[in-house]
Amino acid sequence: MTPPIPPAFPAIRMRRNRKSDWARRMVRESRLSPDDLIWPVFLVDGDNIRQPVASMPHVERLSVDQAVLAAKEARELGIPCIAPFPYTNPELRDAEGSEALKSDNLVSRACRDIKDAVPEIGILTDVALDPYTSHGHDGLMDGDSILNDETVDILCQQAINQAKAGADIIAPSDMMDGRVGAIRKALDDSGFEDIQIMAYAAKYASCFYGPFRDAVGSESQLRGDKRTYQMDPGNSDEAMREVALDIAEGADMVMVKPGLPYLDIVYRVKSTFGMPTFAYQVSGEYAMIAAAAQNSWLDHDRAMMESLMSFKRAGADGILTYFAPAAAKSMLQD
Ligand code: PBG
């Protein structure tokens, strides 16, 4: 009988498996592919418009025709899904966010044109009122408080509006209680039983959404903060309860947001529920890397890929990221 090899140096040399690129490739545990990416894009009214977003280097607001080009680019790069977010003109914003229910609003027009031109990729639409309200909140207000059940009724109508326009995945990001179940029922009652729901299940009240609010124009409007509906950054068990509820209400996929500062939550959600689990690398995370790279303080592509890999390592099945096209290009080159 051969004696067991003692699991120690010098018999064990961990560096052997790292000695060259081919050896490292053989033992790599997590891999990234364009299939892992969902590309959020910002929309703006008009034609042939590409408007830089100051706080997000290389990110632009796109008119619908340009968003169609972006969808074509996504298809060429193998990115499976695109997620349009609107910059709504201030004069169209009101206390109820009524623009969200218009069948010809920016998101609806983008869904229709993208579906027409690029039927091979998925469209994920965000359900929440903040791009449309004069106060910048995700729901209806009564004085200083956000009304839950009244908001859920409107969110159901918003979801139906998006489904009619061609959205494939409805993603409620509002954090009202009970909205996933209500939206599921509303979709089913309208004959949209094949439309998926990706719930922003554990969404934290985070300062990392700052550049996004700049991009959709809700930052200057926002009265107060979102701490009565988005989660407290100190909580982890509560995230498990949120995710469990959304699954029970019919979510097909769950999401954790923000991403990098909440990788422990991504890991815990994936290992606890085994659901298709997504992470949103949000605008502020993007801005940190892009701004540092602009100053040559970080290598742009390496920081981008390392941050994306960390999501896969934590167990995410996919990542919503503004880096999607750049990352896909980098993956296809390697
Ligand atoms: C809307 C919504 C937000 C984000 C996605 N959907 C902003 C917020 O909740 O204030 C943030 C995305 C990002 O920062 O990239 N409810």
**257 catalytic residue (yes or no):** yes
Q: Does residue 55's CB lie within 6 angstroms of at least one atom of ligand 1? A: no
Asked whether residue 171 carries a pLDDT value surpassing 80, the answer given is yes
Residue 5 is predicted with a pLDDT of 64
* Cα–Cα distance, 187 to 163 (Å, whole number): 8
pLDDT, tens digit, for every residue of 22-35?
A: 999 999 999 999 99
How high is the mean pLDDT of the chain? 97
Structure tokens at 201: 């299940």
Query: At residue 6, does pLDDT exceed 90?
Result: no
Q: What is the pLDDT of residues 33-48, one digit of tens each?
A: 999 999 999 999 999 9
Instruction: Place 315 in a pLDDT band, splitting at 50, 70 and 90.
Output: very high
pLDDT tens digit sequence for 241-285: 999 999 999 999 999 999 999 999 999 999 999 999 999 999 999
Say if ligand 1 is within 6 A of residue 133 CB: no
Catalytic, out of 115, 203, 270, 312: 203
Please tell me if the CB atom of residue 155 comes closer than 6 angstroms to any atom of ligand 1. no
Question: Atom 14 (ligand 1): residue with closest C-alpha?
Answer: 209
Predicted local distance difference test score (pLDDT) of residue 223 = 84
164 annotated active-site: no
Domains of the chain, start order: 32-333 (3.20.20.70)
Rounded to whole angstroms, the Cα distance separating 209 from 211 reads 6
> Does any ligand 1 atom lie closer than 6 A to the CB of residue 285?
no
pLDDT at 115: 98
Residue 257 CA to ligand 1 centre (angstroms) = 9
- What is the per-residue pLDDT for 220? 78
What is the whole-number distance in angstroms between the Cα of residue 191 and the centre of ligand 1? 28
Cβ contact 276:252 at 8 Å? yes
